[in-house]
Chain A
């Protein structure tokens, strides 16, 4: 068990470009969460999955954002037509669903810089 991994760790892009991030949760973890963390702030919830089903999306998740978890394992988060305001750390977390007190295990994050 190597923990939650995210790729890439850093991404620099120009405004208007599309970017895609990947998250690999801990194996056997049914739930997968995406958060966004801007400088000086705590993480803010974006969306989460149970297996391949997307259960909830935050109002922070504009139409330019889309997330998938097609086989219930890894997940991707795509941002289309990036804007400078999208610059942030994107965090992924996972946990099993079958215990209410389960902590969420976080990955190292993908730091996005939009120029």
Chain B
């Protein structure tokens, strides 16, 4: 079974600074997808960024980028120019590549942004 590990329960960052959230995963599959989801306080979860395992190029979405190291099974999220609205729980998630199967989530990292 696949597992996702987020080793940082809490992180904090100064506004306008950069922060990196860590995620490692374990799988024997070669075809899969990785996601970072954001869950603001009392609001629903939204997708931040996704990475297809077959793509070597790291995904980027505006201020959000990932460092995908397939051999090391590592998938970290970098948030640049942090904003107060970035404060939330961030979940790393794995999905098998064979069809729209359920997500496997890590335990999450709570990010605080300090003004």
What is A's interface to B at a CB cutoff of 8 Å?
3-4, 31, 33, 35, 40-45, 48, 56, 91, 95, 97, 100-104, 106-109
Whether B100 sits at the interface, judged by CB under 8 Å, is: yes
Q: Among the listed B6, B97, B100, B106, which residue makes an inter-chain contact with A31, where contact means beta carbons less than 8 Å apart?
A: B100
Across chains A and B, the number of contacting residue pairs, with CB separation under 8 Å, is 55
Asked if A42 and B50 sit within 8 Å, CB to CB, the answer is: no
Asked if B105 and A100 sit within 8 Å, CB to CB, the answer is: no
Q: Which residue of B lies closest to A95 (CB)?
A: B100
Asked if B91 and A100 sit within 8 Å, CB to CB, the answer is: no
Q: Among the listed B43, B50, B108, which residue makes an inter-chain contact with A103, where contact means beta carbons less than 8 Å apart?
A: B50
* Per-residue A-contact encoding for B75-100, CB less than 8 Å = 1, 0 else: 00000000000000001010001011
Asked if A106 and B50 sit within 8 Å, CB to CB, the answer is: no
Report the Cα distance A106→B46, complex, angstroms: 7
Report the Cα distance A16→B45, complex, angstroms: 30
Contacts A43-B91, A101-B33 given: A33-B44 contact, CB under 8 Å? no
The total of chain B residues at the interface (CB under 8 A) is 25
Q: Which residue of A lies closest to B49 (CB)?
A: A103
Minimal beta-carbon separation of B101 from chain A (angstroms): 8
Asked if A106 and B104 sit within 8 Å, CB to CB, the answer is: no
Minimal beta-carbon separation of A9 from chain B (angstroms): 10
Contact residues in B for A31 (Cβ distance below 8 Å): 100
Contact residues in A for B106 (Cβ distance below 8 Å): 42
Whether B11 sits at the interface, judged by CB under 8 Å, is: no
Q: Among the listed B35, B101, B103, B107, which residue makes an inter-chain contact with A41, where contact means beta carbons less than 8 Å apart?
A: B107
Asked if A104 and B43 sit within 8 Å, CB to CB, the answer is: no
